[in-house]
Amino acid sequence: MLYLWLKALHIIAMVCWFAGLFYLPRLFVYHAMSNDATSHERFCIMERKLYRGIMLPSMIATLALGIWLLTLNPGYYFSQGWMHAKLTLVAALVIYHHLCGAQLKRFARGENSRSHVFYRWFNEAPVLALLGIVILVVVRPF
């Protein structure tokens, strides 16, 4: 029963984390298009609250619960190729998460040098990772 509770909480935390990973770069798109100080300040507040209040706790919960799940049967999970691929994608998402945090700080300092088009493409990375992770976990192709 513990396994099922951990799995459910892991999925819930992951959904919350992905909500932020999808939304923060979308805020960057609109922030990059804004020109006035009021909009800049509003976007900075929204981005900071999303990152610190939702994304960071959700990422930590996702990782902690995932590690806990792994410890329940490490021999099985670490012998599976799909799990190694999934963990690689998760590591890439953690890097992406921190890149978002670095970009958030650039916006706050008024140092953004990228256009809204860049952020529209940047926003697609977590979608690709999510597709890969779900397929790996459900289909377990190798």
Q: Is 10 annotated as a binding residue?
A: yes
pLDDT in tens, 67-123: 999 999 999 999 999 999 999 999 999 999 999 999 999 999 999 999 999 999 999
State if pTM tops 0.85. Answer: yes
DSSP the chain: -HHHHHHHHHHHHHHHHHHHHHHHHHHHHHHHH--SHHHHHHHHHHHHHHIIIIIHHHHHHHHHHHHHHHHHSHHHHTT-HHHHHHHHHHHHHHHHHHHHHHHHHHHHHT-----HHHHHHHTTHHHHHHHHHHHHHHH---
**pLDDT value of residue 50:** 98
Q: Is 105 annotated as a binding residue?
A: no
Longest distance between any two alpha carbons in the chain, whole Å: 56
Which two three-digit tokens encode residue 43? 């976007």
Q: How many angstroms separate the CA atoms of 31 and 38, rounded?
A: 11
